[in-house]
Amino acid sequence: MIQLINASKIYQPDIKALDHANLNIKAGEFVSIVGQSGSGKSTMIKTMIGEERLDSGQVIIGDWNITKIRKSEIPILRRQIGVIFQDFKLLPKKTLKENVSFALQVCGQTPQKIRAIVPQVLKIVGLEGKIERYPNEVSGGEQQRAAIARALVHRPKILLADEPTGNLDSINADEIIELLLKINKFGTTVVLVTHNREIVNRLKRRVLTVENGRVVSDQQVGKYIL
Amino acid sequence: MFLLSFFRAIKFSFQDIFRNFWLSLVTVLILVLSLFIVNLLLAVQVITNSAISSIKDKIDITLYVKNGTPESDVIGLKNQVSGLERVKDVIYVSQIEALNLFRQKNTTNPEVLQSLRELDNNPLTAALVVKPRDVAQYDDLVIDLDRLNSPIVDSKNSDNPKVMLDKINKIAIKVNEVGMIISIIFIIITLLVVYNSVRVNIYTHNREIKVMRLVGASNWFIRAPFIISGLMYTILGLGITMIIFYPFLSLLQPYLETFFSGYTLNIIQYFSKHLLLFSGLEFAGFGMINVLASLVAVQKYSKV
């Protein structure tokens, strides 16, 4: 589903973010990518969504080699990959419902489809009672749920979660992880980038450890080993 | 789907304009100023052209016929003059017509009319009013008329108006040059202001643009609202200019009527007649300038 083959990325002047990194994530997997700050985890995510281009090597998403993806093709790729971040990236002047609808509106979906899809995804993430609230009126966990709902509206095959619990307390963090597991159960491939040792150890899922831009460990039922 | 996205882009563009209300207002005001100056320049051009036409219309050479010349001889001379290549038209003004015209011209001057009444006979002579085909060849026409050497011509009135025409032409050219320079300055200012407005709009919507990119909005859709904003500014600016410009022309019209007495120049009518053409051209011109400014700003500041 997701492949990095000999992927290298150097930020000027000579910071090796990725150094001949290799990984292969199969469809339907739940994979945690762990590593210290600056190890190259986020760069991996960026190359997977076409935000960064590799200096050498290849990135393959499904059957699509996106190594030299054209700018005009990036939106098509991003509709197939949901992404969530530590800082939620919600629009503060829009309600949670509007934030989720916005993702469909800007991609040209009809109002009928938007009316049908948005309540469904908000229900999946457990926000059905708070859809008219603004981001500053709900907790961090609920904001991240809204961000997940937004990432799910295009029914992506892959969900990339870059430190999704970084800004949350342990209870909210656990709830978000539960939600990601639930989404994975529906068949979506989930890639979780995290620092959180407890979460990784409790998940008992595949763990890729990244160090100096390389995947140094790949455990099928892994633990946070750094 | 394209239409839906297009209407959404227009909606987002309206949101951009109203969220940055003061900035939009300044942009539109600068546009109004530029458009007003362009229209003013147009009006000046119309007025100077009319002034030149009205003077050209009044240019003629009058051949005064000796008193007592039989009308058949005068008609003969008229035919002879009409046959000249440089002559556009010849009007025969009989002695009686000349007297009537004189009376009409002096209706407000009772002393002149009184002295005319005291005379026993008509002191005015018949005349041939010769209109030149081309004002530039005025001097040549005078020579042609002299060559006819007609014995019935008593005198002729041929003050060459070329000097005055040249003066008006020079003033018109100067006015157009200065107007053109001012217009270019304002067009450059407009370009910079629109560019900066779009740039600030992009900064204001930085977060929104990032989210749009994240969720897979097309590059076109991300950029379109800013380009549409450029067009909206043009439409608004043009609308306001037209609303201001017509009352301005109404104020100008009485002065023009006094200045061009005897010559019809209705500048409001002229602008109304050409409204579609002028506003279309101005919309196309300023629209292009604004879209260009928006495109450059979007290209530079909204990396999609």
Helix or strand (DSSP H, E) at A56: strand A56-61
Nearest CA-CA partner of A162 in A149, A186, A180: A180
Helix or strand (DSSP H, E) at B105: helix B95-105
Q: Can the peptide bond before residue A13 be classed as cis, meaning omega within 30 degrees of 0? A: yes
CATH number at residue A83: 3.40.50.300
DSSP codes joined into one string, A148-170: HHHHHTT--SEEEEESTTTTS-H
Q: Across residues A159-184, what is the average pLDDT?
A: 92
Give CA–CA dist A222/A203, Å, rounded. Answer: 9
| Average pLDDT in chain B | 83
Distance from the Cα of B24 to chain A's closest Cα (Å) equals: 20
Q: What is the pLDDT of residues B80-102, one digit of tens each?
A: 888 888 888 899 988 888 888 88
**Hey, is A136 helix, strand or coil?**
helix
For the stretch B82-86, contacts whose Cβ atoms lie closer than 8 Å and that sit 24 or more positions apart, written own/partner, are B84/B141, B84/B144, B84/B145, B85/B133, B85/B144, B86/B132, B86/B133, B86/B134, B86/B137, B86/B140, B86/B141, B86/B144
Mutate to test the interface with B, among A72, A105, A157 (most CBs of B within 10 A): A105
Nearest CA-CA partner of B249 in B49, B64, B39: B39
Least confident segment among A32-46, A201-215, B160-174: B160-174
Above pLDDT 90, what percent of chain A?
73
pLDDT of residue B304: 45
Q: Would you say residue A152 lies in a domain?
A: yes
Domain assignment of residue A131, given as a range: 2-219
Give CA–CA dist B297/B303, Å, rounded. Answer: 10
Give CA–CA dist B153/B133, Å, rounded. Answer: 21
SS3 content of chain B, % helix, strand, coil (to 5): 75, 10, 15
Q: Does A150 touch chain B (CB under 8 A)?
A: yes
A47, B28, B88, B155, B182 from A3: Cα distances, Å: 11, 52, 89, 106, 61
Q: What is the pLDDT of residues B228-277, one digit of tens each?
A: 888 888 899 999 999 999 899 888 888 887 777 666 778 888 888 888 99
Q: Would you say residue A226 lies in a domain?
A: no
Distance from the Cα of B17 to chain A's closest Cα (Å) equals: 16
CB A207 within 8 A of CB A32: yes
Contacts of A147 in chain B (CB under 8 A): none
Q: Across residues A47-55, what is the average pLDDT?
A: 92
CA dihedral B99, B102, B107, B109 (to 10 degrees): -110
Cα B49 to chain centroid distance, Å, stands at 7
**Hey, is A5 helix, strand or coil?**
strand
pLDDT of residue B222: 87
Half-sphere exposure of A90 (CA within 13 A, CB side): 30
Q: A25-34, B51-60, B178-187, B272-281 — which one is most confidently predicted on average? A: A25-34
> So what's the ipTM on this one?
0.86
CB–CB contact B211 A105 (8 Å): no
Least confident segment among B106-110, B141-145, B156-160, B285-289: B156-160
Give CA–CA dist B185/A129, Å, rounded. Answer: 58
Q: Which two tokens stand for residue B206?
A: 């930085």
Q: Does B212 touch chain A (CB under 8 A)?
A: yes
DSSP 8-state secondary structure symbol assigned to residue B215 = H
Q: Would you say residue A224 lies in a domain?
A: no
**Hey, is B88 helix, strand or coil?**
strand
CA-based max dimension of chain A: 51
B93, B145, B159, B196 from B130: Cα distances, Å: 11, 10, 13, 61
Give CA–CA dist B114/B98, Å, rounded. Answer: 17
Sign of the CA dihedral with A47 first, then A50, A56, and A59 last: positive
Cα B211 to chain centroid distance, Å, stands at 51
Q: Would you say residue A225 lies in a domain?
A: no
Contacts of A74 in chain B (CB under 8 A): 213
Strand partners, A21: A7
Q: Residue A73: how many CB atoms within 10 A of its CB?
A: 13
Helix or strand (DSSP H, E) at A62: none
B160: CB partners within 8 A, 6+ apart: B138, B139, B142
Question: Which residues of chain A from 91 to 120 reach within 8 Å of chain B, CB to CB?
Answer: 91, 102-103, 105-108, 110
CB B39 within 8 A of CB B213: no
Q: In a 10 Å sphere around its CB, with 0-12 CB exposed, 13-18 middle and 19+ buried, how is residue B251 labelled? A: exposed
Q: In a 10 Å sphere around its CB, with 0-12 CB exposed, 13-18 middle and 19+ buried, how is residue B285 labelled? A: middle
Q: What is the pLDDT of residues B29-64, one digit of tens each?
A: 888 988 888 888 888 888 877 777 777 777 888 888
Q: Residue B174: how many CB atoms within 10 A of its CB?
A: 10
Contacts of B213 in chain A (CB under 8 A): 74, 78
Helix or strand (DSSP H, E) at A24: strand A15-25
Q: What is the pLDDT of residues B187-237, one digit of tens each?
A: 888 888 888 877 887 787 788 888 888 898 888 888 888 888 888 888 999
CB–CB contact A107 B304 (8 Å): no
Distance from the Cα of B216 to chain A's closest Cα (Å) equals: 4
CB B197 within 8 A of CB B20: yes
Q: Residue A49: how many CB atoms within 10 A of its CB?
A: 24
Contacts of A90 in chain B (CB under 8 A): 211
Domain count along chain A: 1
B112 or B244: which carries more pLDDT confidence? B244
Q: Would you say residue A45 lies in a domain?
A: yes
Helix or strand (DSSP H, E) at A216: strand A214-219
Q: Across residues A54-61, what is the average pLDDT?
A: 94
Q: Would you say residue A19 lies in a domain?
A: yes
Q: Across residues A38-51, what is the average pLDDT?
A: 91
